[in-house]
Amino acid sequence: MANYLLGLGADLKAAFRILLSCQCIVAITLASLAPLTTLWYFSVREYKLALLVNAAVFLLASLASQYSMRHAYRKLSNRDSRHSIMLRVWILIYSFVGIQLAWVLRPFVGSPDEPVQFVRTEQLSNAYIRIAELLWSAITGS
């Protein structure tokens, strides 16, 4: 929709292919880091550190995807500078929605002291606030 609003409807197929390939890069990166994550889980049993490690792994996968997206969008941006705006919009949307969605649907990160849950039950749970709390806890040692 935003592509059409900016007059970039003709390049929608190319933009969609780029976005789809970036999703594949996220999946491949996460799969390639799965052995390291598993090793971490077997080495360290603290739940807070597991959450931080998962946040770091997802951050690396997202950065790899965004790097690829910037590279692929370069061709489109050279044809029309409005694609640079769309690239920033896509990265912003992808980042904010992806982080919160991963937090809400957390299928793989659970606390050993709690029953298995595939969807968070807390209302208004926010990934950004929780990550800040975890980082503060890790810094202060509390």
Average pLDDT over residues 106-131: 69
- Interval 15-67: pLDDT, tens: 889 889 988 998 999 999 999 988 988 888 787 788 788 888 888 998 898 89
Kindly indicate the confidence band of residue 111, based on its pLDDT and cuts at 50, 70 and 90. Answer: low
Average pLDDT over residues 133-141: 86
Kindly indicate the confidence band of residue 121, based on its pLDDT and cuts at 50, 70 and 90. Answer: low
CA pair distance 75, 135, nearest whole angstrom: 38
User: Which of these, 54, 48, 45, lies nearest to 134 by C-alpha position?
Assistant: 48
Average pLDDT over residues 97-109: 70
User: Which of these, 101, 90, 102, lies nearest to 20 by C-alpha position?
Assistant: 90
Average pLDDT over residues 92-115: 72
Average pLDDT over residues 86-92: 84
* Alpha-carbon distances of 6 from 37, 53, 96, 122, rounded to whole Å: 41, 39, 22, 38
The answer for residues whose C-beta is within 8 angstroms of residue 41's C-beta and 6 or more apart is: 50
Average pLDDT, the chain: 82
- How much is the pLDDT for 35? 94
Res. 107: pLDDT tops 60:
no
pTM over 0.75: no
In percent, how much of the chain has pLDDT > 70? 85
- How much is the pLDDT for 9? 77
